[in-house]
Each structure stands twice: as C-alpha cells, then as structure tokens.
Amino acid sequence: MAGHGKDYEKVYVWSVLLRVYHWVFALSIFILIATGLYINWPWTNTWMEGSHQWTMAIMRYIHYVAGMLFTMATIARIYLWFFGNKNEKVWDFAPITPRNIKNMITTSFYYAYLTDNHEHRTGHNAMAGMSYVMTILLAVIQFITGFYLLYPESSFFVGLGSVFGTQQTARFIHHILNWYFAIFAAVHIYIASWNDIRSPEGLISSIFSGYKFFPKGHH
Amino acid sequence: MDRNMFTGGLPGTISRRGFLRACAIATAAMGLPMEMVTKVAEAAESPERPRVIWLHFQECTGCSESMLRASHPDLATLILDLIDLQYHETLMVGAGHQAEAAFEKAIEEPGYVLVVEGSIPTGEYEDFCMIGGHSAEHNLKKAAKNAAAIINIGTCSAWGGIPVARPNPTKAVATGDIIKDKPIINIGGCPPNPHNFLSAVLYYLTFKKLPPTDIYGRPLFAYGRRIHDHCERRPHFDEGRYAEQFGDVGHRLGYCLYKVGCKAPETFGNCSIIRFNDVEVWPVSVGNGCYGCTEPNFWDTMSPFHERLPGVPLPVNGGTIANATDIGKKALGITAAALAIHAGIGVAKSFAKGKKKEEE
C-alpha cells in the first residue's frame, strides 16, 4: 500500500454476495414501502380514473416483483449467517456470546455519548448485529405474510401463513411490519452516518467496496 | 332484490315501508347522502306531481318495456303514481282523435317534463315517422315549446341510436339536434336502466333542477364511471385471464370477456353496479361482453361487437400476479445459483488450503 498506509490498514470485510444482498434488500425495501403505502391508501384513485392509468394494478405488480427480490435477498442473508465469511456469520454479531454481550454494553454507552471508547470490530458491533438479526427474522415474517396474501388459493402458502391467523390478521401484521422497515431504514442510515463521522473507518464505503480501514493494530 | 320488496299487503299496492325503500334505492343511485332520503321521499309524495308527456319516435319501445315491465313492476307503478303521465302512446287507453285531443290538451299549459324515446327523421325523409298525420319533427317541436325540460330516454333520442347507424337511411337526428333552447338530459342505454331514469326524475322532483351531467348530457351519478372499473370480472382482466372465444374453457370459468369484444373499457355507466331486472344480472354477468350501448353512436363505433376493442393497454402483460410469480421463480433460480457458486468457491478454497497444509 502506498501513501498513508503506515497509519491505516485496509481490511477486506464484506463479500460480493453480502454487498449484492445489501443493495437488493435496501432497494426492494424502499420500493415496497412506497408501493405498499399506496396499496394501503390509493390516494390517486378518483382523479386518475378514466384515463387508462392502471395505477393500482401497476403498484401491486411493482410491489410483488420487489417482494420477490426482498425474499431472495433475505434467503441469501440467512445463508450467509451460516456459510459467509467470519464477519458475516451470525455468531460474530448476535448478542449470544459473552464477547458480544460485553460489546453490546460498551456500544450502548458509546452511542449514548457516555464514553468515547469502543471496540474496533471488522464486522458489525453487537448492537447493530442484534437489530440486523431481528430485521431478518421480521423479513421472514413479512414475506410469509406477503405470500399468504398474494396466493390465497395455494395450499402451501396458506398452510405457512395460517401460523399468523386469518388473512386479515396476516394483512395487519404485514402492514405493521411495513412501518418497522421504514423506521429501521431511517435509523440505520442515521447510525451508519453517525459512526462514519465519529469513528472514520470507511464504514459507508465498505458496503460498496467491501473494504474497511482500521488504525494499525486496533483489530 | 326481492320482487315483493316494494309491495304492500294487497296486489298492486305500495306499503309505506316499500315506498321508503324505493326512495332509498333511488337516493343511493343518485349518489346522494342517505340523509337525503327524507327529502326525496317528501318530494316523491308531494301532491304536486310533475306533468309528463312521453313521445315515441323512431324506436323499438324497448325503453318503455324495460321501464314498465321487465325490471321493477312495482317501481313502475310508483313512477306512474309519482308523475302525472298525461300522454304516452303505448300506455294510454285512448286512440285516434281521442289521443290527439289529449296531446293537444296536455301541451297547452307550460311547465311539463317532456320524455322523448326514439330518433327523429329529417328533411325529405321526415314523413318516415308520422303520428296523427304529422311528422315526428313537427310533433317534437310542438311538444318542446312549452316543456320545462326534456329527458331523452334511451340512446335513440339522446344521440340517434340504431336509426342513425350508417348509412342512416332516414337522415335521423337526436332530440338535441332539433331542440336547442331547453335543458336536456340524456339517459343513455339500449335500453337504459330504469333506475337511472327514475333517479333523474326524482332528482328533478327533489331539487327542481336537472342533475349535473357529463359532456354528453348524461347524469354523472349514473354515467360518471367506466363500467370496466366496477366489473366483477375485472380481476381476471388484471390477471390476464381471458375467454378467447365463446364456449371455451376461459368462458366457462367466467374469465374476462375483453377478447371476445367487451366494450366496457370505453363505456360509461353503472350497469355493473346496479344491474337489471330484479335478478341481479347484466350482459357481462351472463357471459356476453358489453356492447357500449350507453355511448353516442355505439352501433357504428363499437361494432363489430364480438371483436376485441383495440388500443386498450393491459396493465401487465400476462397478468400482475402471474408475471410477478414468473419473475419470482427466476429470482429464486438466480439466488440458488449465486449461493451455489458461493458455496462452491468456499469448498474449493478449503480444499486448496487443505492440500497446502498437507504439502507443508
């Protein structure tokens, strides 16, 4: 490495598959929120009527296609929980090991501005890890309820979705989770930016390039 | 709807309950809030019934038939009790000079509502429709002179209908082409739904003015929306499930009739909502596409009736869910391939590492 390579070292953190997963997941979430809210409240219905605009049909179609991508992204992420690299595996960041539980406490102090000390981890900190595990589990619920609503005549998806009750209960869960993902996206972008400013490691660029930068000997 | 819905205990009578029910249905058909039912009922039972003169020209009397017999006999009774029908060629008992005398007497006093059924032949062809020795045009002009408003019942009087279809052998025109100085309302349809006519009359009784209309003079409460948008087969259209020809599997399964010539995507009306004849049917519900009969010049512009209407964009080719399912399957394939490649590289790497270790 040239230039300032003395102070920082470049570490390969995120595999190609994880980065593809992240952007498909992120993009599909934005599309799903926008189209999902429209389907919930089709506010253009009367003034677009009679002008050959199949607004609702198009919104539903986009929602379904984005839902397919969302599902595939979720499956890829769950695969990486077990077969990804060391930063991508679930036990690296889920608060289930003593190391991660300790990290969760220090991170919460760091986020509350109570301390400037924090662990330089190549992967996720345990606080982020917990929210990502939760998000993926909720994503599974979201796509199961979604498929339950989309294929009301398929015995497979009806069997799967009936865990959540009737179609209407599933619709309600699906709707509430839509808001979870909207809030998650806002919080996620805020905390990622906050971390990138407070502790410059190339956190944001790492999800494009796969590389993070750490002070030598700090990880 | 139950046929006895509007009747009282005795045959041919109307109970108070049945009367209010009819007013409620008419109020709903007009798109008025339910608080208006009392107003509509008050107007309907007022002793001052509007005088109505009903003229027949070039038509088949199907509008009167549908109005009086086919759909709601008791509602028709209501309408006849509601309005003061002074002249109706099909219904009146009188004939010949007696009938003509009744007509002359009826048009003397101004302020009546003129209902016109049928188109009017003009020019050298005006004697194609003669009543009491006078041409249709002569009779219409005479009757319209003292009329407060004109209601055209059916597509013939509204826009010419079947008589003006090419080559228009009688040079027929619509009422509005001859009478320019009176408020005109068009109840399109071949025949129109009697509810729409009834509602227009009740609107006039309640508010003493004609209801708001679209550019073709049709009341918006009945003709403000496309039939297609409220069709019970619409989900099949969105999903790309069509009857390809009459009698095929799709037709038997009740799929969308668009490809066998349904004109509902270009036709405005409430047929798919209020339906016909007390038994909740309308053309599409019994497996025949809409002919577009509530639209001006439908006989020329909507035919051939069993050919696909051109230029209707399908929302998503192949149907929204079917298409999304297809994309979903492809995405699943790509994901599986990506995971397999990822796993393959992992296995190959560990295999290479293992070999290295062995070499060391």
Q: Are B117 and B150 in contact (CB under 8 A)?
A: no
> How would you write B273-330 as a 3-class SS string?
HHCECCCCECHHHHCCCCCCCCCCCHHHHCCCCCCCCCCCCCCCCCCHHHHHHHHHHH
Residue A179 Cα distances to A69, A137, A174, B82, B133, angstroms = 19, 15, 9, 55, 76
- B199, B279: one domain: no
Question: Could B320 and A57 be called an inter-chain contact, meaning their C-beta atoms sit closer than 8 Å?
Answer: yes
Question: How many domains does chain A fold into?
Answer: 1
Closest to A74 (Cα-Cα) out of A163, A142, A150: A142
- CB atoms near residue B313 (< 10 Å): 10
Any domain includes A55: no
Q: Look at residue A68 and tell me if it is in a domain.
A: yes
- Within this chain, do residues B89 and B208 fall inside the same structural domain, yes or no? yes
Which chain B residues are closer than 8 Å to A59 by Cβ?
none
Query: Is residue B90 situated within a structural domain?
Result: yes
d(CA B339, CA B322): 26
**Residue B294's beta-bridge partner residues?**
none
What is the tally of structural domains in chain B?
Answer: 3
Q: Which domain holds residue A144?
A: 3-42+62-215
Residue-wise pLDDT for B78-137, tens only, equals 556 677 788 888 878 888 888 899 899 999 988 888 999 999 999 888 889 998 889 999
Minimum CA–CA partner of A47 in chain B:
B225
Closest C-alpha to B42, from B27, B28, B30 = B27
- Using CA atoms, how far apart are residues B80 and B77, in angstroms rounded to an integer? 5
Cβ–Cβ below 8 Å for B324 and A75: no
List chain B residues with CB under 8 Å of A79: 339, 342
**Confidence check: pLDDT of B74 > 60:** no
Per residue in A120-129, pLDDT (tens digit) is: 888 999 999 9
Q: Does residue B8 register a pLDDT over 60?
A: no
**CB contact B101 to A (< 8 Å):** no
Do residue B238 and residue B218 come from a single domain?
Answer: no
ipTM of this model? 0.77
φ and ψ at residue B149, rounded to 5 degrees: -155, 160
Mean pLDDT value across residues B170-181 = 93
The answer to whether the CB atoms of A58 and B315 lie below 8 A apart is yes
The whole-number pLDDT of residue B231 equals: 92
Mean pLDDT of the B131-153 span: 92
- Distance of alpha carbon B329 from alpha carbon A72, whole angstroms: 10
**Which of A2-6, A28-32, B280-284, B305-309 reaches the highest mean pLDDT?**
A28-32
Distance of alpha carbon A167 from alpha carbon A117, whole angstroms: 49
| pLDDT(A1) > 50 | no
B258 and B172 housed in the same domain: no
Q: How many CB atoms lie within 10 A of CB A149?
A: 16
Number of H helices, E strands in chain A: 7, 2
Determine the average pLDDT of the residues in A144-151. Answer: 94
Enumerate long-range contacts of B302-307, CB under 8 Å, 24 or more apart.
Answer: B302/B263, B302/B266, B302/B267, B304/B261, B305/B261, B305/B263, B306/B246, B306/B260, B306/B261, B307/B261
Half-sphere exposure of B153 (CA within 13 A, CB side): 32
Same domain, residue pair B294 and B340: no
- Residues of B numbered 251-280 whose beta carbons fall under 8 angstroms of chain A's beta carbons: which are they? 268
Write the pLDDT tens digit of every residue in A20-63: 999 999 999 999 999 999 999 888 766 665 556 678 888 899 99
Q: Is residue B160 part of a domain?
A: yes
- Give A184→chain B minimum CA distance, Å: 24
Token pair for residue A112?
């509350």
| Together in a domain, B289 and B344 | no
Assess B327–A contact: CB distance below 8 Å, yes or no.
yes
The CATH number given to whatever domain includes residue B293 is 4.10.480.10
CA distance A66 to A134: 21
A17 touches chain B (CB under 8 A): yes
Contact between chains at B313 and A64 (C-beta distance less than 8 A): no
Average pLDDT, chain B: 84
Residue A54 resides in a domain:
no
d(CA B124, CA B337): 80
Regarding whether B167 and B257 lie in a shared domain, the answer is: no
Out of B188, B223, B258, a domain closes at B223
Q: B88 with B179, same domain?
A: yes
Q: Residue B109 is part of a domain; what is its CATH number?
A: 3.40.50.700
- By the 8 A CB rule, do B155 and B161 touch? yes
Q: Which of B225, B315, B328 is closest, CB to CB, to A54?
A: B315
Domain CATH code at residue A83: 1.20.950.20
Residue A50 lies in a domain: no
| pLDDT (0 to 100) of residue B55 | 92
Taking the C-alpha atoms of residue A50 and residue A46, their distance in angstroms, rounded to an integer, is 9
Q: Are residues B114 and B261 in the same domain?
A: no
* Closest C-alpha to A212, from A125, A144, A131, A141: A125
Per the domain annotation, does B4 fall within a domain? no
Question: Are the beta carbons of B203 and B212 closer than 8 angstroms?
Answer: no
Give me the domain span that covers residue B347. 327-354
Q: What is the pLDDT of residue B14?
A: 63
What is the percent of chain B where pLDDT is above 70? 88
Dihedral sign of CA atoms A195, A196, A202, A207 in order: positive
Contact B287, B256 (CB under 8 A): no
**Does B9 fall in a domain?**
no
Confidence band of B4 (pLDDT split at 50, 70, 90): low
Q: Are B29 and B199 in contact (CB under 8 A)?
A: yes
Task: Tell me, yes or no, whether A190 lies in a domain.
Answer: yes
Asked if residue B30 is part of any domain, the answer here is no
> Does residue B193 sit in the same domain as residue B238?
no
Q: Within an 8 Å CB–CB cutoff, is residue A26 touching chain B? A: no
For A5, the enclosing helix (H) or strand (E) is none
Judge whether B1 lies within some domain. Answer: no
